[in-house]
Amino acid sequence: MDSYSMRDVQSLLGIPRTVVSALIAAGVIAPRRGARHAYRFTFQDVVLLRTAQSLRESRIPTRHITRSLKRLQGLGEGRPPTGLRVTAVGGDVTVHDRHGRWHVESGQFVLDFGPDEAEDAQDAEATKDVGGRGAKVVDLRRLSSADDPVTWFERAAALEDGAPAAAEQAYKHAVSAAPDYLDAWLNLGCMLCDHSRFDEAVACYRMALEHLPDQPLLHFNLGVALEDAGALRDALRSYHACIELAPDFADAHYNAARLHEELGDPHRAIRHYNQYRKLEAVE
């Protein structure tokens, strides 16, 4: 097979569309456009996506994966060199090469300490080895309920890599304290999608829309989550709601076109594909 469709990639790798889209948006992979402007992935794209899915299965957040693979592009003509082995260690992405093992984001080499040596004495009571990943266990009861939502948001963002369950609770504290906190809703929904909890992500975005009905990005993200959950017609309605609020939202036009085509409405698909191309040309 010379190239692979989005459906091929998802079937082969079990990777959610949200992860593929994040890597494309970041420029980590650059699939060409085939018939009807659909993505076509090369074998090298598939290899890189398989690496991303492996990291995701190790519970590395999609945004962390994207940053790390983007950083690696500079090492090998836009892609990780063949001799590199990308793996997850704890909440970090590491690379093995002829020099040893090193953290992608910091560039620091990894020393293979034993579990007792690796723990910092001050954090020993708050650290527990979970499935060999050394995940942090954070007692949120120690955090002040009087903290403002921005503090909860910043704490959640800091916890995402090492303690996703604690991060989720912190995001929920943020939106409970400030139901119109858009960034907290978006991060929480993305994190749920990162862990294939699509139905929960859908519920999250719908709750957010009760407070922020005019935010196009919430409608778009809801569409992506619904699509990954298999609810294509509901997803299409969400993409159209996004377009009504933001007619220049190119990706919403593209996703709507793709779903119209898949659901047997080629005329509306062509209309949205044309609008997508016009918007992309302007950019």
**In CATH, what number is assigned to the domain containing residue 98?**
1.10.1660.10
Do 122 and 150 touch, CB atoms closer than 8 A? Answer: no
pLDDT given at position 209: 96
pLDDT at 217 over 80: yes
Instruction: Tell me if 100 is assigned to some domain.
Output: yes
Burial class (CB in 10 A: 0-12, 13-18, 19+), 43: exposed
| Backbone phi and psi for residue 136, each to the nearest 5 degrees, phi listed first | -70, 140
pLDDT over 90 percentage in the chain: 28
Find the domain containing 52 and state its range.
Answer: 1-112
| pLDDT higher than 50, residue 127 | no
Question: Does residue 282 carry a pLDDT above 70?
Answer: no
pLDDT value at residue 136: 37
176 located within any domain: no
CA distance 150 to 170: 10
Assigned domain for 38 exists: yes
Residue 160 has pLDDT above 70, yes or no: yes
Are 234 and 215 in contact, with CB atoms under 8 Å apart? no
How far apart, in whole angstroms, are the C-alpha atoms of residue 242 and residue 229? 19
Number of domain units in the chain: 1
Query: In terms of Cα–Cα distance, which of 73, 69, 82 is closest to 22?
Result: 69
The reply to whether 66 falls in a domain is yes
In a domain, 24, yes or no: yes
Nearest residue to 3 (alpha-carbon basis) of 30, 25, 26: 30
pLDDT digits (tens, 9 = 90+) for 64-88: 787 777 777 655 544 443 345 666 6
Cβ atoms of 220 and 249 within 8 Å: the answer is: yes
Here the tokens at position 174 are 């943020």
Q: How far is CA 104 from CA 27, 111, 128, in A?
A: 17, 14, 24
For residue 106, what pLDDT is reported?
A: 56
**Position 221 confidence tier, pLDDT thresholds 50, 70, 90:** very high
Residue 196 in any domain: the answer is no
Does residue 45 belong to any structural domain of this protein?
Answer: yes
Nearest to 229 by CA among 252, 212, 206, 248: 206
Q: What are phi and psi of 101, to 5 degrees?
A: -110, 135
| Alpha-helical segments (H) within the chain | 6-13, 17-25, 43-57, 62-72, 115-118, 149-159, 164-177, 182-194, 198-211, 216-228, 232-245, 250-262, 266-282
Distance (Å, whole) CA 33 – CA 65: 24
Residue 61 inside a domain? The answer is yes
Report the chain's mean pLDDT, rounded to a whole number: 76
Cα atoms in the Cβ-side hemisphere of radius 13 Å centred on 4: 18
